[in-house]
Amino acid sequence: MLLILRDKPDFPVEQIPSLPPPQISDNWPGYSLDLFTYPQHYYGDLEYVLIPHGIIVDRTERLAKDIMQDIGDNDIVVLCVLKGGYKFCADLVEHIKNLSRNSERFISMKVDFVRLKSYHNDQSMQDMQIMGGDDLSKLTGKDIVGTGRTMKVLLNNIEKCKPKMIKVASLLVKRTSRPDGYRPDYYGFEIPDLFVVGYALDYNEHFRDLNCYIFFSTYVLSMIMAKQNTESEAVTSSPEDLEAQ
């Protein structure tokens, strides 16, 4: 998510020391699926819970508090990156609003949406599509930062509108060996370079409805793709083809 100041800050920004965001190690086994409830139609497709919903909520509230301390009494525009960022953006904005109501600092916010298409199945594509966003001089919300290529493309477009300040918030950052790996201004967790779903992140539009982050392996991905291809063939097959089988 990007936070963009519409006016120059007229206050000294407090540099409050803070602990680094939580890091999930490469050998973290996760939580057993048996400890949680999740839709029955996903049984057999998932490996383990990476980050439970309650931890996501608490960490998002902390990010909202950090943003409040940095932004102060300034109008901002929140630019939510669809589709994967909508739950994080909605929760973060709600936390900022609640903190603003109960403090002497009031933050006026406008929310807009943009959609970036950079993945096909589980693979990052070379070409980037940007759709939406009537006023790009704003703040952005994104759910996960991988290589950072997507965010860099978006920031280049926003900077053309000459905003006073741009801040990026992301709930997840993937750990990468790339020296040019992008780091947002605010992020909730650093995770291994895994393909995760849930909390609005998807695999071909599936799994967005999960309220936590869940990992599934390459093997499971291949099984899902094989099942989807089989279902597609069954739909497109004629009755004569089915009888021949």
Q: Cis bond leading into 87, ω under 30°?
A: no
Task: Please give the model's pTM, rounded to 2 decimal places.
Answer: 0.74
Q: Which residue's entry shows tokens 């920031």?
A: 155
Q: Which residue has the tokens 């932004």?
A: 71
Whole-number Å distance between alpha carbons of 99 and 69:
10
pLDDT tens digits, residue range 76-89? 888 888 888 889 99
Q: Is 186 helix (H, G, I), strand (E, B) or coil?
A: strand
User: What are the residue ranges in the chain where pLDDT is below 50?
Assistant: 8-16, 122, 125, 135-140, 232-245
C-alpha to C-alpha distances, 239 to 34, 81, 230, 235, nearest whole angstrom: 41, 43, 16, 10
Burial class (CB in 10 A: 0-12, 13-18, 19+), 168: buried
Residue 62's pLDDT is what?
95
Q: What is the pLDDT of residue 79?
A: 87
Looking at residue 128, its pLDDT comes to 55
Spatial distance between the Cα atoms of 8 and 29, rounded to a whole number of angstroms: 46
DSSP structure class, residue 206:
B
C-alpha to C-alpha distance for 133 and 112, rounded to whole angstroms: 6
Among the listed residues 131, 129, 57, 124, the one whose alpha carbon sits nearest the alpha carbon of residue 94: 57
CB 221 within 8 A of CB 204: no
Contact indicator for 153, 94 with CB cutoff of 8 Å = no
pLDDT tens for each residue of 165-206:
888 999 999 887 765 667 889 999 999 988 888 998 888 888
DSSP SS3 for 219: helix
Beta strands in 89-212 (DSSP E): 109-120, 123-132, 139-145, 165-174, 186-191, 196-197
Q: Quickly tell me which residue has 């803070």 as its tokens.
A: 18
pLDDT score of 18: 62
Secondary structure of residue 166 in the 3-state scheme: strand
Residue 57's closest CA among 25, 85, 26, 92? Answer: 92
